[in-house]
Amino acid sequence: MAVPKIYLRVAVPSPLRRSFDYLPPAGCDLHTLQPGMRLRVPFGRSTLVAVLLAISDETDVPQSRLKRVSEVLDSGPLLSRSLLKLLLWASSYYQYPIGEVLGNALPVLLRQGQLPAVQGEQVWRLTPTAQELDAETVAQLERRAPRQAALLALLQAAGDDGLTATPIDAVQEHWRPVMRKLVDKGWVAVTTRVNLLVSAGGVSDAAPSLHPEQAAAVEAMGAGLGRFGVHLLEGVTGSGKTEVYLALMERVLSQGRQVLVLVPEIGLTPQLVSRFQRRLNAPMVVLHSGLSNRERLSAWLAARSGEAALVIGTRSAVFTPFNNLGLVILDEEHDASFKQQEGFRYSARDVAVKRAQLEDLPVVLGSATPSLESLYNAQQGRYARLALTRRAGVAQAPSIAVLDVRKQPMFDGLSTALLNAMRRHLESNGQVLVFLNRRGYAPTLLCHDCGWVATCRRCDAHMTLFNHRTRLRCHHCGAERPVEPQCPECESTELRPVGAGTERLEAALQHQFPDTGIVRIDRDTTRRKGAMATLLDSVHDGSKRILVGTQMLAKGHHFPDVTLVGIVDMDQGLFSADFRATERMAQLLVQVAGRAGRAERPGQVLIQTHHPDHPLLQTLLREGYAAFARAALEERRQARLAPYSHLALLRAEAVDGRLPLQFLQHARSLAEQSAMAGVQLLGPVPAPMERRAGRVRAQLLLQADERADLHRLLETWLQQLEADKLARKVRWSIDVDPQEMF
């Protein structure tokens, strides 16, 4: 009898939607092989690091074409069975190649084949001598050794934190010998940094006694520890959700189990980390996109070994391995950043729920403004809903009023009523937050003589004026150019900014309130590392009393002295082609309004609009978010939109303008020939912004009442598309449960 053959099913980092079979390496003890181990395999002309998915005694590959694994890299599985299962599920649910899904889950250094071990990482920073170099020395260096000068400037900008290799790599190639010269001159110091575990600093803050709603929520969720369950914690802003998380986390940690906390923005983590640190006696790590490769690996390993009891992270941290995970908390569950918008387009919220199910543990989804999907799931009894209906402590809900600005005189977008209210609040020592969800100086530059408008050369979009009106930038492709002194059409110099962004608003406010400190918080002012923290400090220490900003300000921040929130332009979001736009607008409005009056002093919210009678606005303001959500869900039900149907969006783009529609038309006919019962095809149509970054874009929407029908079609259809000739001429992607429809 022949010995049964053994085949290894392997995930290879390749864009192909499949796994690959290999023979075990020569002389390998087959009993040591386990799924989740890394292997080195020959692939095409190269050798790649792959992950073992399964061991099988059959294969469809002809014997003559089977290759052998070259090397087994790990002595045990790097990924647990349940995590591997989650990744396989995500690959099939989001129809994304398993090799690339694994790539998202593994730290870069492990993908490159390095050992799963913590090593110190070198950090370069300026010495005090270098910080005091005179201008002449620096100028001389710039002339004689520009590469040294560039590194010096880079380190100068990094400040006391210094820089690891990764960010330096991004700026200069082969920089190490150059850096060595700087070290020899005594201008740069090198140290090794290992630790990035935030240690428990000894608990310094006492927990407040929970109010009855908080206590009830903790009890209900506490009773569900140790088994799968999704809790939707709906708490108005400032109602004390974080206190509920803390109480629940304490229980889980005291059982010796780990907690994963997912947050929308890296900008929020420092506040949260220090709050957790003051309250919990637990070592924690923070996982976000700003880490160096070494740091990421260390944090990942600390979670996997159990050394880190608490992991706080953004979206991708949902794939972190744990030794003994007991609870997942996802804060601000409605936030769009939980959905990855390119490549592997997963929703960290939905993956978290799946993970909790596979590992049999509870997940808490918290928000003041839950997504319509989650509310629907609660209605259906899939999620348990818990409510915190009032603000914690002494804080009161803010009063909200609409300012009808029709026919009103406006000063750079600000009405007299809003300006007067600001004055009142500032005079009584309040802080004022002015919200405008548009950065830059002005969204449009217009020629007053001929009507020419500055547009992007590569997109169907206007250029935004920014940087003190000196430059134009396209927010869709990143293109930038200086402002022309004259109109390119008629040579007039009467070029005028139309509309306002945060930069213009800041200037206008400074003009109106010359003696008041103003701080602007948007993506442009917070780009530099540490900038956000510095800006927030200036608010908290009271040196800045007017805050101007975009939605970055709406998220989670606690400004105890803000008593007035002004929403400059409510009209932007009321009319949009995207069916989710009203939901997002409502969430944003409630979240921004929630920044007012979060401590002893009552808050006021003023909303400027030209559409005071808009039904959405009316329902939201009169009856609150829950009533708005009910009405919006009813609209979705009637229109058979998500969550009442299941959607997938096939997008295509190409430089040649005819190809995307051609490809999608072809894709449509392929779908029509296959088993597409229960699935409706809508389109193809040009994308709402048809041209972006020089490519023409189009899309085809798939809609199904039953998810199973949709997935049955996707599986065969995408395999067909992958093999299709036309598909190679366009860039295409599939987005399951799309959040943005363009």
By a kind-dependent CB cut-off of 5 to 8 A, residue 235 interacts, out of ligand ADP, Zn ion, none, with ligand ADP
Number of shown-chain residues binding Zn ion (CB under 5 A): 15
Say if strands 431-435 and 546-549 run parallel, antiparallel, or are unpaired. parallel
CA distances from 28 to 71, 171, 301 (A): 9, 43, 27
587 binds ligand ADP (CB under 6 A): no
Alpha-carbon distances of 580 from 334, 335, 340, 650, rounded to whole Å: 12, 12, 16, 18
Distances in Å between the Cα of 7 and the Cα atoms of 24, 41, 58, 81, 226 are 7, 13, 7, 19, 37
Q: Which does 379 bind (CB under 5 to 8 A by kind): ligand ADP, Zn ion, none?
A: none
The reply to whether 375 sits near Zn ion by the rule CB under 5 A is no
Nearer to Zn ion, 459 or 521 (CB): 459
Among 284, 291, 392, 650, binds ligand ADP (CB under 6 A): 392
Which span sits near Zn ion by CB under 5 A: 30-38, 216-224, 485-493, 652-660?
Answer: 485-493
- DSSP code string of 27-78: T--GGG--TT-EEEEEETTEEEEEEEEEEES--SS-GGG--B--EE--SS-S
Query: If phi over 0 gives left and psi between -120 and 50 gives alpha, with beta otherwise, what is residue 233?
Result: beta
Residue nearest to ligand ADP (CB): 240
Find the part of the chain contacting ligand ADP (CB under 6 A) among 43-51, 235-243, 256-264, 284-292: 235-243
Residues 401-460 that bind Zn ion (CB under 5 A): 447, 449-450, 452, 456, 458-459
Radius of gyration of the chain (CA): 28
Residue linked to tokens 């919200």: 435
Residues within window 486-515 making contact with Zn ion, judged by CB under 5 A: 487, 489-490, 492
Beta strands in 610-671 (DSSP E): 646-654
Q: 239 touches which of ligand ADP, Zn ion, none (CB within 5 to 8 A by kind)?
A: ligand ADP
Q: Does residue 688 have a cis peptide bond before it, meaning omega lies within 30 degrees of 0?
A: no
Q: Least distance from C-beta 285 to ligand ADP, angstroms?
A: 22
Give the pair of three-digit tokens for residue 697: 């874009």
Report the nearest approach of ligand ADP to the CB of residue 235 (Å).
Answer: 5
Site string (218-257) toward Zn ion, x via CB under 5 A: ----------------------------------------
Out of ligand ADP, Zn ion, none, what residue 456 binds, judged by CB under 5 to 8 A for its kind, is Zn ion
Q: Are 572 and 349 in contact (CB under 8 A)?
A: no
Is 91 a binding residue for ligand ADP by CB under 6 A? The answer is: no
- Kindly indicate which of the ranges 153-161, 237-245, 650-658, 703-711 contains the residues binding ligand ADP, using the contact rule CB under 6 A: 237-245
Please tell me what DSSP assigns to residue 200. Answer: -
If we measure between CA atoms, which residue out of 629, 624, 619 comes closest to residue 593? 624
How many Cα atoms occupy the beta-carbon half-sphere of 195 within 13 Å? Answer: 6
Nearer to ligand ADP, 121 or 250 (CB): 250
The helix/strand/coil state of 690 is strand
**3-state secondary structure at position 33:** coil
Longest alpha-carbon distance in the chain: 94
The reply to whether omega before 684 is within 30° of 0 (cis) is yes
Q: How far is the CB of 496 from Zn ion (least distance, A)?
A: 11
Backbone angles phi, psi at 515, to 5 degrees: -100, 5
Binding string, residues 300-319; x marks residues near ligand ADP by CB under 6 A: --------------------
208 binds ligand ADP (CB under 6 A): yes
Query: Does 146 participate in binding ligand ADP (rule CB under 6 A)?
Result: no
Chosen from Zn ion, ligand ADP, none, partner binding at 214 (C-beta under 5 to 8 Å by type): ligand ADP
- Residue 318 · residue 351 · CB < 8 Å: yes
What does 487 interact with, of Zn ion, ligand ADP, none (CB < 5 to 8 A by kind)?
Zn ion
655 touches Zn ion (CB under 5 A) = no
CA 433 from chain centre, in angstroms, equals 24
Does 712 contact ligand ADP by CB under 6 A? Answer: no
Residue of the chain from 476, 544, 584, 595 that contacts Zn ion (CB under 5 A): 476
Q: Which residues pair with 286 in a beta bridge?
A: 312
Separation between Cα atoms, residue 123 and residue 133, nearest integer Å: 21
The residue among 158 and 474 lying less far from Zn ion, judged by its C-beta, is: 474
From the list Zn ion, ligand ADP, none, partner contacted by residue 264 (C-beta under 5 to 8 A by kind): none
Beta strands 546-549 and 518-521, pairing class: parallel
Binding stretches for Zn ion (CB under 5 A): 447, 449-450, 452, 456, 458-459, 474, 476-477, 479, 487, 489-490, 492
Binding stretches for ligand ADP (CB under 6 A): 208, 210-211, 214, 235, 237-243, 392-393
